[in-house]
Amino acid sequence: MRKAGYYSTTTVLAVLFLLPMIWTLYSSTHGPQATNGAGGWGVDNYERMSRYGEGIGLYVLNTTVAALVTVLVTVVATTLGGYAMARLSFPGKNLLFLVTLAILMVPYTTILIPLYIVLGWLGLQNSLIGLGLVLAMFQLPFGLFMMRNSFEALPVELEEAALIDGCTPGGALRRVLLRGVAPGIVTVALFSFLASWNEFVAPLIFLTDGTKFTLPIALYNLQSGNLGSIDYGALQAGVVTAALPCVLVFLLLQRYYVSGFSAGALKG
């Protein structure tokens, strides 16, 4: 009875979560707009969506560049920062950690305009790299928290043994510790990728050139249409295109994601 209740509950939850995506996928390939007036299914919605604006391929590429910059900066910064917070002793360490976590309490939309000005000083306005740096900043608190706990979950004896064998602290980090915190790194990378891929407000503020728009901005413009008209078929095809990379990345990294959360939640 216990197993039956467990599987019944998880099945119902899975159906509830998957039903909107299944319906979107079905709608994108059925109907008069998708089949050009014929019955059955077709890909006309995807063809119209692919020709929208500068081409859907360019928008996907822009989103990929911004997401990769976000993931790379977040992973490098939080890995080094998490190691320092967990293993090194320096004045103000705990205060610095708390101040970093305090960023989570600030609504990020309230600091977009100051960040826009800062990017202007750096010459990174209307830049995918500048957008990636901004998105990475918003991922730092969670990433630092996750990586600090991941390093603290590793036995100190591992690092001490590496140091005795002649490794420097950097060598011990690179050759020994990174393997132990790999699930935490994957978790941080996954969260960063999903957040940056689906971000709408920041690209809307920081990007003004249509050739640099990300996929969420392009889909919003597609939804707006001309004279208030909405091409729902092409929009559904765009939603499937935007969701597919996220689903694939999550399925590929799910095992590491779950173990990363366990490593970040437990110490000892």
Determine the 3-state secondary structure of 41 from DSSP: strand
Name the one residue in this structure whose structure tokens are 């991922």.
139
Condensed to tens digits (0 to 9), the pLDDT of residues 86-99 reads: 888 888 888 888 88
pLDDT along the chain (268 residues), means of 10: 85 90 88 74 86 88 95 94 86 85 83 88 90 92 89 83 81 83 89 92 90 90 70 86 89 70 46
Condensed to tens digits (0 to 9), the pLDDT of residues 178-216 reads: 888 888 898 899 999 999 999 999 999 999 888 899 999
Domain extent listing, the chain: 55-265
Domain 55-265 CATH (choose: 3.40.50.2300, 2.60.120.260, 3.40.50.300, 1.10.3720.10): 1.10.3720.10
Task: Please compute, for residue 102, the number of CA atoms within 13 A of its CA located in the half-sphere on the CB side.
Answer: 6
Distance CA 186, CA 261 (A): 10
CB contact at 8 A, 145 and 74: no
CB contact at 8 A, 59 and 215: yes
* pLDDT of amino acid 259: 59
Dihedral angle of Cα 137, 139, 143, 145, to the nearest 10 degrees: 90
Distance CA 149, CA 262 (A): 10
CB contact at 8 A, 148 and 78: no
Q: DSSP assignment, residue 94?
A: H
